[in-house]
């Protein structure tokens, strides 16, 4: 039976993985939950609980084998099984995501993009093909694509979302600054930059107040 963890724990796993990959594996054979927690500013108990949910390799007073822990986290997150995806909206943000090679390390390969502006269609600087949006449904179904990224303006996002659902897409990563309505069986992740900025601004304001006291 597949293990289940909380959304909060799921969001922490990439942070663990990112740090573990910075360690010299030829020297740091094992790492404890305490050491990992100290490095990331997290509690030891929380880290140990998270790791035990995805890996059986931890041992008392020894910790986890770093290399094996990396493999276990990658397997749990699906990074060892690359997902093909398409991107809709080849503007500045879309173009940046399209050319970002780092996604492959996280199990994501953007195979093509779509845009309503025919002048943007063709092969971009990263070598990825940008198609007219009219070809989206046919290509997604033909390649059996299940994951899509939306980077279109807010006023066009819902229409694009509806078209992607009709194209057989099962999961959507939305960067458009608007709420999207999807069927219950569709996985939707909204990347709300305004919310992240609000948290950052508040924390900065609180920090300044503490320094002034």
Angstrom distance (rounded) from CA 203 to CA 211: 12
Domain, as residue range, for 22: 7-77
Among 148, 49, 143, 44, residue whose Cα is nearest residue 94: 148
Domain ends where: 77, 92, 108? 77
Residues 116-152 pLDDT 10s: 999 999 988 888 899 999 999 999 999 899 999 999 9
| 38 and 73 within one domain | yes
Mean pLDDT for 106-110 is 88
From residue 21, alpha-carbon distances to 110, 151, 163 in Å are 23, 29, 38
Q: Count, in order, helices (H) and strands (E) of the chain.
A: 8, 9
Asked if the structure places residue 12 within a domain, the reply is: yes
- Together in a domain, 166 and 129: yes
Report residue 1's pLDDT band, with 50, 70 and 90 as the boundaries: very low
| Residue whose structure tokens are 């289940």 | 4
Average pLDDT over the chain, rounded to an integer? 88
Mean pLDDT of 26-45: 86
The pair phi, psi for residue 69, each rounded to 5°, is -65, -40
73 and 90 together in one domain: no
b/e string for 20-58 if b means 16 or more Cβ within 10 A?
beebeeeeeebbbbeebbeeeebeeeebbebbeebbebb
């Amino acid at each position: 039976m597949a293990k289940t963890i909380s959304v909060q724990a799921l969001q922490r796993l990439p942070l663990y993985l990112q740090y573990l990959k910075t360690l010299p594996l030829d020297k740091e054979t094992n790492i404890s939950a305490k050491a990992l927690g100290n490095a990331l500013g997290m509690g030891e108990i929380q880290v140990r609980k998270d790791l035990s949910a995805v890996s059986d390799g931890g041992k008392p007073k020894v910790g986890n084998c770093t290399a094996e822990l990396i493999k276990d986290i990658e397997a749990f997150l699906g990074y060892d099984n690359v997902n093909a995806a398409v991107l809709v909206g080849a503007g500045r943000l879309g173009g940046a995501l399209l050319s970002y090679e780092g996604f492959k390390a996280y199990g994501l390969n953007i195979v093509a993009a779509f845009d309503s502006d025919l002048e943007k269609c063709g092969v971009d600087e990263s070598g990825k093909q940008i198609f007219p949006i009219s070809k989206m449904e046919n290509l997604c179904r033909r390649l059996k694509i299940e994951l899509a990224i939306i980077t279109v303006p807010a006023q066009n996002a819902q229409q694009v979302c509806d078209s992607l659902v009709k194209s057989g897409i099962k999961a959507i990563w939305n960067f458009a600054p608007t709420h999207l309505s999807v069927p219950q069986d569709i996985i939707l992740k909204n990347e709300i930059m305004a919310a992240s900025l609000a948290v950052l601004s508040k924390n900065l304001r609180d920090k300044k107040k503490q320094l002034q006291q």
